Structure 1
């Protein structure tokens, strides 16, 4: 492993594949990233661990006596797919600004479309598990968009003309929160009523922050509040606007329509998480934003949980 020293050095898929030349290299790197202070048993968390002999590097805990590899309790657990293909898939999914379809991913890493789809969903699961926990503060924009079929119960500025109230179940609302100059959060919600939105805002935005919304929001205790009148075609009111979120919504919808074509409400949150992660790591190299996911340990996603 002499040529590259850190994930920031990866600027192309070729470099990534050149570095991770075999399964042992991948497992070694995964172990280093996961346990920088020494191997720890993923079952009982003790550090009295032995390395076992064999083609694949395995460990045995000296306390609970269980055997494990660096893949234990990660998205790679129980997968027969080589880690090189996993690493390539993570890189490809995150390097493309609007994502990559399961059909294209299948061709790129030589697997079936079904395997590529499941693999991509596991990666999105890791993205969700590793979501940014820090609350937003300062100036924070809040807005919603609607993804899917025909509209109903949308705010006036978001209604499709000449549409007489198609069922709301055909359209899935998504709430977005973005800190000016900072990170973004987005959540699939059942509706856009204040009793649904307020708890999410309270959980993700520091008290005392300045909220920028449209006129459909009621004031929320603990926040300064500025509005723009979208229904009156007003999109900027001094420093009040939601243009940062509008730009993100446009990119999200281009991704869904242009790459994935159709996303069911059941899986929409994972695709939203993917877009949010890409937005929040846009300052990182493609290699760095991909390899961050290797350290996320929250268990794997099973196929039966998806279908």
Structure 2
């Protein structure tokens, strides 16, 4: 009888331990299922990049590695993603340079409005800077898979006016995504307000902020045009996002599949500029059809804005330490 009871207890214990194992643990078939925290919605440009990349990962690894998405910051907020992936609370996630530059000063250099000149410059920077960015993030106990532009066009939203000239921003309360974007907004004469993208709709609606500079994809997904229909297309790339994974979770993947994933990641990163740009064209048309009155700045107006915004770069470099000096040496070749 005692032997029978002991056998039952062992079986129960095995069942409980199996149920409690993490989602990233290899299953009976050797597969690794990875929960990834995504701050964006399922319908924006980042989502399309993720879906294409993760589908290829699943196909090329024959289902041995599967990324399971959690959209709209449902797993963890954007500003908590770095710590959560680093400490293993979350398997993987997407970061934003704007959200982490306060903790990693060098990332301020790839946060700002005007970070890339064009697609050719982005691809050159991607190839040269990725090893350095990998080292920078590895020191913070996350592994970089790949990265991409945060946006190719920056949209300025307001309830009653277009914002095509530097002096148009004076005295506005503006939502920004990070420290250095906040400094750039100050250079325009506005007051920066930092908040998660998920809070922006209500903030515009109730007047907590007067305006925002936002990517086309996030603006369309967040339906910002419903609360601020005066839209200015500044034609200025902004920010970068980084797909990262916890090193212990990465170690559960076989070396062969790690190689496959990194090859696909490099491909996704290099092609991300065009992928984001293509989706932005569709999203901007959606904003127009939803009532957005869109004004596109002239080349001269764009240049005038960049003359002001780019004044922040020297200050970033001065505070970004050795990592920032190394990254700036790459970036300044393509400005």
TM-score, scaled to structure 2: 0.24
Larger helix fraction of residues: 2
Q: TM-score, normalised on structure 1?
A: 0.25
